[in-house]
Amino acid sequence: MTPSPTQFRRHAPTPGAPQPLSGTPAPAPVTVAPGLVNYKNRLFAPLQSLNPDNVLMGGYGWLSKTDNGATFHPGLDLNSGSSCNDDEGKIVASMLSGVVRQTLFWDGYTSGEGNHIWVEYDDVCCPSKTLMHVDHLSQIDVVNNERFAPGQPLGRCGRSGNWDCAHAHTELLKSDPQYGWYQWPYGWSRSQVEAAYHNPTTWWNAAKALVDIHGGEPPAPETVKAMNDWELTNYVLAQLYEWAEIPFNPNSGLAKTWVAALRANVYAGRPRTDERHWGDPDQGVWAEFDYRVLIYKNDGTMSWTG
């Protein structure tokens, strides 16, 4: 069976607008979160106070059955304490160096991921392409496209998304999520989950081996950009819409996806239509650009090909 983009356990609202940046900040000393289990001060466990003898401890484990047996759990529910909310407010940190891909904020009532983040590791000690996805945060301490160092705080462990007990639900994906930033492999087969997600224990051991080889090399360098995403949206894209004489919404999913494509060296061109709703009830919007048609679903799924 091929997974469907509608197979989500957690239905969530359209992601909130990225927090605007006020220019490129001056480099600052990296702050490593205290109390993190680490390997040679180069590879860090993603939650404070985990057991050094069982770094990937917690509740639901890799491939445990959840959703009444319908889902093979694609990650780990990390916990360090013995009571329900021992971990609430503890620091969630980066394992290696990388870049923040998405910060997604909870609406306060919808069940699901709550506040959650996606980060991509590009560290020389990363075994292969890896996106880390962490759910249920009580707060998020980073912004989209921010570069981070090993052990740097990313947010705080919580239970947002209407969960009873605080935990850091942590997944390690092998590529960009096929079904968007709210992907959940409900009903997927075991082999499908294994194809899309890293086994955390295998990944951790492979990263340790790379630390032994490359641990003395510095993390990936800062990526220099002339404009941040907020500036690209409000200065460049806004003028393209103005020239096309089409109404512009800088907080729309279409605007965010256009900027994300440009960052990936894909230029969609100027808009040729305004936003058009589709679906019954409205499932999202679409618009035509010079070189592509953009589809944006209200669950955050984006596509240039339909």
Per-residue pLDDT of the chain (306 residues; tens, 9 = 90+): 444 333 333 433 333 333 333 333 333 445 688 889 999 999 999 999 898 888 877 778 999 999 999 999 999 999 887 788 889 999 999 999 999 999 999 988 888 899 999 999 999 999 999 999 999 999 999 988 888 899 999 999 999 999 999 999 999 999 999 999 999 999 999 999 999 999 999 999 999 999 999 988 776 655 556 677 888 999 999 999 999 999 999 988 888 888 877 876 678 889 999 988 888 777 888 899 888 888 888 777 777 766
Q: What is the pLDDT of residue 172?
A: 97
Q: What is the pLDDT of residue 19?
A: 33
Contacts for 65 with CB less than 8 Å, ≥ 6 apart: 71, 72, 73
Question: Of 171, 184, 163, 59, nearest to 114 (Cα)?
Answer: 163
CB 2 within 8 A of CB 187: no
Task: Tell me the two tokens of residue 26.
Answer: 């001056």
CATH number for the domain running over 38-214: 2.70.70.10
Q: Degrees (nearest 5) of the Cα angle 20, 25, 26?
A: 180
* DSSP bridge pairs for 276: 286
Identify the residue whose tokens are 């590879």: 43
DSSP H stretches of helix in the chain: 190-196, 200-214, 229-231, 238-244, 253-263
* DSSP bridge pairs for 246: none
Q: What is the pLDDT of residue 194?
A: 97
CB 76 within 8 A of CB 200: yes
Q: Where are the domains of the chain?
A: 38-214, 229-303
Q: What is the pLDDT of residue 185?
A: 96
Give the pTM: 0.66
Q: What is the pLDDT of residue 23?
A: 34
Three-state DSSP state, 236: helix
Q: What is the pLDDT of residue 189?
A: 97
What Å distances lie between residue 147 and 226, 231, 268, CA to CA? 15, 17, 26
Length of the chain: 306
The dihedral through the CA atoms of 42, 52, 119, 6 has a sign that is positive
Q: What is the pLDDT of residue 103?
A: 93
